[in-house]
Amino acid sequence: MKKRILILTVFAFYSFGMFSQSKLDSMLRKLPVMKEDTSKIKLLFAIEDEYLKTNPDSTLYYLNISDKLIKKLKASKYDYDYNFELVKVFHAKSDYNKALKYTLRSNQIAKNNRNMLQEAESYRTLFSLYQNLGKTDLAIKYALYSLKFSKSVGDTLNLSINYGNLSRLYFELNQFKKAIHYGEKGIESGKKYKNIKGLLICINNTALTYMNMNENAKAEKLFKSQLAIANKENFPRSSSKALINLCSIYIQTADKENLKKSIAELNIIASENNSVLSTADRTIIKKLNAHYHIFNNNFKQADVELNDGIQMAINDSLPSQLLNLYYLKTNLKYAEHKYYEAERYGSKYDSVNIIINDEEMSKFSLDLEEKYKVEKKDKEILLLEKNQIKQRTFIYSLAGIAMGLLIFSFLLYKNYRARKKINDQEIIQLHQEKKIDATQNMIQGEEQERTRLARDLHDGLGGILTGVKFQLNSMKGNVILSEENAGTFTKSISQIDNAIAEMRRVAHNMMPEALLKFGLDETLKSYCDSVSQNSELTVSYQSFGMEERLEQTNEIVLYRIVQELLNNTIKHAKATKSNIQLSRNGNIISLTVEDNGKGFDVNAIKKNGIGLSNINHRVEYLNGKMDIQSDSKGTSTHIEFEIT
């Protein structure tokens, strides 16, 4: 099981805390007397940044004031700073969806301002948020974007954060050697360029990796280093996480003395910074306190800590934490020889575990008592407990039989679910294969017809028009015409030239020879240049990792998708700019098409749009996924599929 980490000393925490409070008080005294100009905006940002370390709610208050002042002064150059500070606040509060909303907004502002440093910063944050939201593909995409931007603009200050992100990514993929490699590079970079945040991230991720490799001595040393830095720089969240993981190590190694010191320090920091810590961290602290009390045979206090943690996990929908708390609660009840309560919490543990394993987190209802009819079980248990004194021996035997039946029933149920799931998947797969075959036949037929029409146009109509042009040119020198008729004759020849050029352009778009000769990358680049020259839409095209050609049918399908998207943009969006990005990462192909047009109602178009339906058929042929986001500021279409 993967764990998380951080570290501090009590004296350093309080001494820096007093210094930080003094600095904050000084800024707050300046605020009322300052003139309402951009200097006051900067001061408000500095105040909310100090509050962010200990009190995110106060941060929101001062950000609201700064927003009003920015609008009053029309100081749009601070729009990015305001939105990105909101990202920090909601990230600290673990509200990743809101943080994602403001990060995307910050990223768009950075693009509009052509500020690559800000754009790189927003890409780093997108990686972290998508990772927290479990969207690994997008996390990988923006990790690569961030690293590319940071290197291209020489952003040495944030190199450690990029390395920390890569370390975390490889840690989540269980590639521990790479995680340590990038983590250590990030530690070196953070120290060299004095980026405390990046340094803490890299120390944390490297220590986590060592911890999961059971190299506890190396992990402990790094956690203590992280704790010292976090205490000195007043990062209480980082301090608490370091102590949480140190306590986990001491529990694993049964180091009671160090556990006692660390748990005491952790409780002090938690009580002083309760509003800063996430509910997940606070439930973990409850679990660690319970462990400590169990070590000291104080089962009653351990029970209190676990009950508090369980209630917090239920209230905030934290199934993973709830699972760990139920597991420890079950063991505690066995240690107390309360076997029926142990069975009760073991049943709750199994229920939550089934939900997690079935990947139904989005549908998870925290009212476990109702969903799994625990109240009925509680009544049965209470009834058994009333008869326990008279029938202890009988009940123990009955309990053993009941537990055996429960396990047997659970195994039967699990086997039934597994077989049913396999059957359902086979049915779904057959339907998908049938649909893909139909789509494939339709697309192949369409491409064959396009090819036939293109050749007929080029070889048939093209030849006729060219012959007419040569005949007229040969007549021109042999026919005596008036000046007016001679001009009309010359104009007619010119119009035939235009018709030939237009016919060739149409034939080329129906089946461009460049696609077959030079591949998708070169053809798309040429096509985008052509659209930019022949329309009011400026198209920017970028590609990454497309040196190797794809299978020909896939290239044709991708080319048609880009054609359809750009045609829709030109016809309906009233856009002036469009960005196209095509990338390959291993076997994953990603296509993103964005514009700055007026947007549209995605749901309405999905029902009635013929163009979108054509694109959907092509994406299904590729066995890919398509995501469309559209508002009044423009439209973004992201398509992703895997090649074999």
Determine the Cα–Cα distance for residues 68 and 36; give it in Å rounded to an integer: 11
Question: What's the whole-number average pLDDT of the chain?
Answer: 79
CA dist 384 → 336, 362, 389, 397 (Å): 17, 36, 10, 13
Bigger pLDDT: 162 or 642?
642
Using the predicted structure, report yes or no on whether residue 203 has a pLDDT greater than 90. Answer: yes
For 203, list phi and psi in degrees, rounded to 5. -60, -45
The DSSP H or E segment spanning 399 is: helix 392-455
Are 572 and 610 contacting, i.e. CB atoms less than 8 angstroms apart?
no
Range 554-581 average pLDDT:
89
Distance of CA 433 to CAs 26, 542, 554, Å? 68, 33, 17
| Nearest residue to 52 via CA among 275, 280, 283 | 275
User: Reading across the β-sheet that carries 588-595, which strands appear in turn?
Assistant: 538-544, 577-585, 588-595, 634-642, 625-631
**Which amino acid, residue 632?**
S
- Least confident piece of the model among 120-124, 168-172, 354-358: 354-358
Give the pLDDT score at 143: 78
H or E element in which residue 640 lies: strand 634-642
**pLDDT recorded at residue 481:** 63
Q: What's the farthest any 2 CA atoms get from each other in the chain?
A: 129
pLDDT at res. 9: 28
What's the rounded mean pLDDT across residues 515-526?
Answer: 84
Considering 170-174, 442-446, 611-615, the range whose residues carry the highest mean pLDDT is 170-174
**pLDDT value for 629:** 92
For residue 8, the 8-state DSSP code is -
- Has residue 597 got a pLDDT over 60? yes
State residue 288's pLDDT score. Answer: 93
What is the mean predicted confidence (pLDDT) over 614-620? 84
pLDDT of residue 388: 62
Give the tokens for residue 425.
């998947």
Q: Which residue has the higher pLDDT, 424 or 476?
A: 424
Amino acid 129: pLDDT = 87
Per-residue model confidence (pLDDT) at position 13: 32
The conformation of residue 358, written as its DSSP 8-state character, comes to T
Please check the confidence at residue 506 and state whether its pLDDT lies above 70.
no
Q: How many residues does the chain have?
A: 644
In the numeric block, which tokens belong to residue 174? 């269980």
CA dist., res. 462 & res. 457, Å (int):
6
Lowest-pLDDT choice from 167-171, 357-361, 605-609: 357-361
Query: Dihedrals φ, ψ of 157, to 5°?
Result: -60, -35
How far is residue 541's CA from residue 579's CA, in Å, rounded to a whole number? 6
Residue type, 512: P
What are the pLDDT digits (tens) for 433-491?
555 555 555 555 555 555 555 555 544 455 556 556 555 665 666 666 666 666 676 66
pLDDT at 88: 87
The pLDDT tens digits of the residues spanning 32-87 come to 888 888 888 888 888 888 887 667 777 888 888 888 888 888 888 889 888 888 88
State mean pLDDT over 387-399. 67
Domains, the chain, with CATH or none: 517-642 (3.30.565.10)
pLDDT score of 295: 87
Name which of 103-112, 303-312, 401-410 the model is least confident about. 401-410
Count other C-beta atoms under 10 Å from residue 562's C-beta. Answer: 23
Min mean pLDDT across 129-138, 198-207, 319-328 is at: 129-138
Highest mean pLDDT among 256-260, 278-282, 395-399: 256-260
**Do residues 124 and 157 touch, judged by C-beta distance below 8 A?**
no
In the prediction, which pLDDT does 11 show? 29
Q: 526: which 2 tokens?
A: 């040429």
Read out DSSP for 56-94? HHHHHHHHHHHHHHHHHHT-GGGHHHHHHHHHHHHHHTT
Q: Which of 88-97, 115-124, 253-262 has the highest mean pLDDT?
A: 253-262
In sequence order, the β-bridge partners of residue 544 are 583
Q: Residues 116, 149: contact at Cβ < 8 Å?
A: yes
CA–CA dist 340, 380 (Å, integer): 10
CA atoms of 407 and 382, how far apart (whole Å)? 22
Q: Which residues contact 85 (CB under 8 A, 6 or more apart)?
A: 45, 48, 49, 52, 59, 63
Average pLDDT, stretch 394-417?
Answer: 77
Claim: this prediction has a pTM higher than 0.75: no
Q: Which amino acid is at 142?
A: Y
Between the alpha carbon of residue 125 and those of residues 51, 91, 595, the distances in Å are 20, 9, 23
Q: Which regions of 152-263 does DSSP assign to beta strands (E)?
A: none
HEC per residue, 529-595: HHHHHHCCCEEEEEEECCCCCCCHHHHHHHHHHHHHHHHHHHHHHCCCEEEEEEEEECCEEEEEEEE
**Is residue 16 very low, low, confident or very high in pLDDT (cuts 50, 70, 90)?**
very low
User: Which residue, 322, 353, 326, 319, is CA-closest to 342?
Assistant: 326
The burial class, CB within 10 Å (0-12 / 13-18 / 19+), for 86 is buried
pLDDT at 638 over 90: yes
Q: Is the pLDDT of residue 112 over 70?
A: yes
In angstroms, rounded to a whole number, what is the distance separating the alpha carbons of residues 635 and 176?
39
